[in-house]
Amino acid sequence: MEGEKLVKDFGPSLSREQTDYIDASIAERKRRKQAQARIRYTVMAAICLLAIVAAFQWLRAERQRQSVAQAFKSEAQITTKLQEQLRRRAGQALTKPSVSSGLESGEKESLFLRVRSNCDPQNQVASERFFQETNRPS
């Protein structure tokens, strides 16, 4: 700015070397401003790009979270159904004549509670054995 003012106010009285120096100084200042502007725009573009990538990653993670939540919900429903089926089978097994004959009422209830407490849907081996036992012809 100072150089531009010197050229404007004292242009005719300045030597050729002085005006060339001032012109070079003005050109250098413009070049630096342009370089700073390019850097500023590049940084802003990089920040915008990172924000877009972060948004896509968040969306992807949110979809995965929802998918996992749905899978857990489905698994819980299946587990509940399996537990109910095991309880029914335990009740059926205790009403079969081969199992219940010779047992007192209290013994039947005790046996029923013991079988019911051992029916763990997470224990697939025990559950499978229980199904085999209860489905055997009497």
Does this model's pTM top 0.85? My answer is no
Please tell me the distance from the alpha carbon of residue 90 to that of residue 135, in angstroms, as a whole number: 11
Please tell me the distance from the alpha carbon of residue 100 to that of residue 106, in angstroms, as a whole number: 11
Q: Where are the domains of the chain?
A: 2-135
Whether 49 shows a pLDDT value over 80: the answer reads yes
Classify residue 136 as exposed, middle or buried by CB count within 10 Å of its CB (0-12, 13-18, 19+): exposed
pLDDT at 56: 97
User: For residues 83 and 119, is the Cβ–Cβ distance under 8 A?
Assistant: yes
Q: What is the DSSP letter of 13?
A: G
53-111 pLDDT, tens per residue? 999 999 999 999 999 999 999 998 998 888 888 878 777 766 655 554 555 555 655 55
pLDDT at 117: 55
